[in-house]
Structure 1
């Protein structure tokens, strides 16, 4: 028998009691298993924020690409 893991709102940390009360805001990769869904209450979905690790990765890729193109002007 499989027991469902309760959905917890990422911003406030409270359990999401009903399916209509929460939304899936993103899926986070996991090193030791399948990806983990991240949920938030409907009222808190805008507070969940973007995935910081992916933003850092994107910034690094864009910085390297800009550097490969000759920098950001001024030289």
Structure 2
């Protein structure tokens, strides 16, 4: 998903679901610049959250220009 906002504080809240509509927990959602680097919050941490057991996440950050949401599914049943 790509959106453009100019220097505004935003709050992104949504639920991640699978194709059957079931919530997906432990998904990492990060707000990233067009070049793929994460936006940072006021403390310098990446603007991201991990979905809860109900698939919900909430991210507060300030963006300027375009941004994307990077969604990374949890690693399941994988050996290191």
Q: Which has the higher contact order (CA 8 A, sep 6+)?
A: 2
Considering only CA atoms, is the larger Rg found in Structure 1 or Structure 2? 1
TM-score calculated relative to the size of structure 1: 0.28
Indicate the structure with greater strand content: 2
TM-score calculated relative to the size of structure 2: 0.27
